[in-house]
Amino acid sequence: MLWQCRGHVFDLAARTRVIGILNLTPDSFSDGARYLDRGAALDRARQLIDEGADLIDVGAASTRPGAPPVPAAEQIRRLTPVLKPLVRAGNVPISVDTASAEVAAFALAAGAGAINDVSALGDPGMAQMVAEAGAGVVLMHMRGTPATMQHEPHYEDATGEIAAFLRTGLARARAAGIAEACVALDPGIGFGKAAPHNFELLARLDEIVSIGRPVLVGVSRKSFLAAPEPLAVDQRLEAGLAATAVAVFQGARLVRTHDVAATVRAVRIADALRAARPGAPSD
Ligand code: HH2
């Protein structure tokens, strides 16, 4: 299974790839305001790469529950000092976490390899932008917007509905001229889901995997990890590693995390377990 991000092609059969998170935001739920300074942000990126990140996902707008929208101009202002130096360093491909076509245009012009779109091409200009650049794109499921998504989310069949949404998203991407090889899918853990929906999605992840595109899962430090037992944000590492390992065993090929070194170790074991299953597919 390949994921193409402009000039870079990830062969995901070989191993699951770990995406390190770099938040240039004042208000992200676990690390807001830590990397506002250009030097701090570039140091953090270097650390993520040293720890084994295969790709860096740079975010300039928090999408935590209740977060207000951040205007494109402000996202671009936050990205400007950091994005080009990161791309120029050329260590790993860079993705930009944005739902704005205007921000995506800026990011792709600066050399980003992929757009991580939590709105799954919700902005009308986004698909064309990604298609023309030959960029990688993550289509993520979210119910509502960050401002509203945790207001009593309800599903008849969460996994079935989310799989159908992602199937439709993939078809829309293809119709807009995005090569299928460029598309990854993400069920959007924590985005318009109560804790039981997140657990069910991870337990039934094979149904998302069966759509046939690489699946990305992001559980890092999220609040559902504290559902069985109260855990502060900085106490959720082990719980997140357990959930990540299960996701990879179920077929996730991309994982997004703040804690790269620990996640790389957990993912290697999950990859080995998955490969050891009788008749394990080699994709
Ligand atoms: N989760 C967050 C942000 N972007 N993108 C994808 N594809 N999948 C995710 O699960 C996902 C995501 C939330 O994490 P974080 O970036 O740390 O927080 P914030 O949105 O508060 O900046």
State the distance from the centre of ligand 1 to the C-alpha of 63, rounded, in angstroms: 6
For every residue of 84-146, which 3-state class applies, written as one string? HHHHHHCCCCEEEECCCHHHHHHHHHCCCCEEEECCCCCCCCHHHHHHHHCCEEEEECCCCCC
Q: Phi first, then psi: what are they for 142, rounded to 5°?
A: -140, 140
Whether 118 lines ligand 1, by a CB cut-off of 6 Å, is: yes
**Candidates 17, 57, 97: which one to mutate for ligand 1, based on the most atoms within 8 Å of Cβ?**
97
Angle at 42 between CA 260 and CA 36, to 5 degrees: 100
- Is the pLDDT assigned to residue 282 strictly greater than 70? no
Q: Which amino acid is at 29?
A: F
Which residue's CA is the nearest one to ligand 1's atom 8? Answer: 218
Q: Catalytic residue among 17, 44, 236, 256, which?
A: 256
Whether 57 lines ligand 1, by a CB cut-off of 6 Å, is: no
Whether 29 lines ligand 1, by a CB cut-off of 6 Å, is: yes
Whether 1 lines ligand 1, by a CB cut-off of 6 Å, is: no
Taking only the tens place, the pLDDT of each residue in 212-261 is: 999 999 999 999 999 999 999 999 999 999 999 999 999 999 999 999 99
Q: How far apart are CA 23 and CA 27, in angstroms?
A: 9
The two beta strands, 216-217 and 183-186, are unpaired
Question: Using CB atoms within 10 A of its CB, is residue 220 exposed (0-12), middle (13-18) or buried (19+)?
Answer: buried
Q: Which atom of ligand 1 is nearest to the CA of 186?
A: 7
Q: DSSP code of 54? A: S
Whether 75 lines ligand 1, by a CB cut-off of 6 Å, is: no
**Looking at the DSSP assignment, which residues form a beta bridge with residue 148?**
none
Which residue's CA is the nearest one to ligand 1's atom 10? Answer: 218
Taking only the tens place, the pLDDT of each residue in 72-100 is: 999 999 999 999 999 999 889 999 999 99
State the distance from the centre of ligand 1 to the C-alpha of 218, rounded, in angstroms: 7
Beta strands per DSSP E along the chain: 2-5, 8-11, 17-23, 55-59, 94-97, 114-117, 136-140, 183-186, 216-217, 254-257
Who contacts 116 (Cβ-Cβ below 8 Å, separation ≥6)?
Answer: 57, 59, 95, 96, 97, 98, 137, 138, 140
Q: Which atom of ligand 1 is nearest to the CA of 219?
A: 10
- 77 carries an active-site annotation: no
Q: How far apart are CA 190 and CA 233, in angstroms?
A: 14
Whether 97 lines ligand 1, by a CB cut-off of 6 Å, is: yes
Q: Which amino acid is at 259?
A: D
Question: Over the chain, what is the mean pLDDT?
Answer: 97
Give the pLDDT score at 283: 67
* Rg of the Cα atoms in the chain: 17
Q: Catalytic residue among 64, 143, 222, 236, which?
A: 222
Rounded average pLDDT over 167-183: 98
Structure tokens at 278: 């009788």
Confidence of residue 112 (pLDDT cuts 50, 70, 90): very high
Q: Which atom of ligand 1 is nearest to the CA of 25?
A: 22
Taking only the tens place, the pLDDT of each residue in 44-79 is: 999 999 999 999 999 999 999 999 999 999 999 999
Who contacts 267 (Cβ-Cβ below 8 Å, separation ≥6)?
Answer: 15, 16, 18, 244, 245, 248, 255
Q: How far apart are CA 37 and CA 41, in angstroms?
A: 6
Structure tokens at 266: 């957990």
Q: Which atom of ligand 1 is nearest to the CA of 221?
A: 17
- 222 carries an active-site annotation: yes
